[in-house]
Structures are given as C-alpha cells and as structure tokens.
C-alpha cells in the first residue's frame, strides 16, 4: 500500500460568494503546485498591474522562475498565495 502525503484542508476566500477549498501542502509533499499569472488574477481579483506593483513593494509574494535563468516563464507557489490570503485582514 502506498503512502499518500498528508494534507490539511483550509477554507479559501473566493471571488463573490464562491468559496475555494484547497489542500494545504506539508513538507512531505513531493510536488509543488504552481499557478500562472492568469489564474492568480482570477483567484485574487487583482489586476496584472496591481499584482506586479505589490510584488515590487513587497506586499504580494514574488513569483518563481519556471525553468533556466534565460526563460521568462514565472508562476506563484500555491502555498505562498495561501499564506498571503491567510494574512489579509477582513475588509482590507
């Protein structure tokens, strides 16, 4: 019997009245879920410009490079965005 990584379910805030429920990864997980810019925009409700402005001023998690240094492809770790969501103040 194979052993599956343990997860803890964390309720997520969604856009409007929808709620996202996503598994919270642990150190034992072998895979990291990476979200591309379009999905981050959809999930956060922020514009592309606002996301990059907040990355620059340190109020939004920075993306990671998805390949060798010469590639322009970037994405955000799912866990980094979960931590950012968790740190938001209600009504802010």
Average the pLDDT over 2-16 and give the result.
Answer: 48
Considering the chain, what percentage of its residues have pLDDT values greater than 70?
65
Confidence (pLDDT) at 29 = 56
Please classify residue 52 by burial: count the beta carbons closer than 10 Å to its beta carbon, then call 0-12 exposed, 13-18 middle and 19+ buried.
middle
- For residue 18, pLDDT beyond 90: no
pLDDT confidence band for 32 (50 / 70 / 90): confident
In the three-class reduction of DSSP (H, G, I as helix; E, B as strand; rest coil), residue 19 is classed as strand
pTM passes above 0.95: no
Backbone angles phi, psi at 89, to 5 degrees: -90, 140
pLDDT confidence band for 71 (50 / 70 / 90): confident
Nearest CA-CA partner of 61 in 42, 37, 43, 77: 77
């Amino acid at each position: 019997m194979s052993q599956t990584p343990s997860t803890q379910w964390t309720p997520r805030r969604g856009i409007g009245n929808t709620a996202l429920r996503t598994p919270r990864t642990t150190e034992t997980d072998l895979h990291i879920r990476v979200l591309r810019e379009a999905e981050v925009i959809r999930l956060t409700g922020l514009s592309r410009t606002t996301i990059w402005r907040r990355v620059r001023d340190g109020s939004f998690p920075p993306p990671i490079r998805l390949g060798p240094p010469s590639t322009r492809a970037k994405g955000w770790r799912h866990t980094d965005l979960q931590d950012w969501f968790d740190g938001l103040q209600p009504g802010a």
